[in-house]
Structure 1
Amino acid sequence: MTQEFVIHLAREALTTALLLAAPALGLSLIVGVGISILQATTQIQEQTLTFVPKIVAVILGMLLLGSWMLNTLIQFTTGIFGNLGSLVK
């Protein structure tokens, strides 16, 4: 196992983690900004008003993008198991 291989593996792991987290975080951010603007214009300061729509948006996003996320994770795992023979010398 070379140093370049370990760096490549770490880079791929971080990239995959960011790709898998991006849809949920992005949806939560967009819904949070929208609700904050709504709260600022109506002057309603209810805490659950920000929390519940974010959860609903993230769950819907997971339902819509779950198959893509699973395929990305399977490709990463298959790549690791495919290179397992080169790790053991």
Structure 2
Amino acid sequence: MDPQVVLDLYGQGFYLIVLIVGVVMMPSLLVGLLVSVFQAATQINEQTLSFLPRLIVTILVIMQLGSWILTKLTDFTTDLLINIPMIIG
């Protein structure tokens, strides 16, 4: 097995992980920022206030993009399994 093939597979997998985590976490981070700005403007110092909106947004994003995430993971796994003979040999 060529080391370059292993590095390419690792890079593709890492990119897929970063893409999926980024898609799920970015809306949560934006909602957290909005809640923080609201807290700073109103001087409400409650740390648990941003938890529920971030949780709801994260759940909604996973519900909306769950099929896309599953498709991406399935495609990567299928390509990996189909190309096992090429990778080994």
TM-score (normalised: structure 1): 0.94
**How many residues end up aligned between the 2 structures?**
89
Aligned pairs for 1:67-82 (under 5 A) are: 67-82=67-82
Stretches of structure 1 that go unaligned for 5 or more consecutive residues are none
* 3-state SS of 2:60 partner: helix
CA contact (8 A) 2:31 2:54 kept: yes
State the 1:23 CA deviation.
1.4
Segment of structure 1 superposing worse, 7-16 or 79-88: 79-88
CA distance in 2, matches of 1:74, 1:61: 19
1:32 pairs with 2:32: yes
CA contact (8 A) 2:24 2:58 kept: yes
State the 1:88 CA deviation.
3.2
Q: Deviations over 1:43-67 (max 9, x none)?
A: 1111211111111100000001111
CA contact (8 A) 2:5 2:87 kept: no
State the 1:3 CA deviation.
1.0
CA distance in 2, matches of 1:70, 1:87: 24
State the 1:87 CA deviation.
3.1
Which residue is 1:44 aligned to? 44
Stretches of structure 2 that go unaligned for 5 or more consecutive residues are none
What amino acid sits opposite 2:72 in the alignment?
Answer: T
Work out the percentage of aligned pairs sharing the same amino acid: 36
What amino acid sits opposite 1:56 in the alignment?
Answer: I
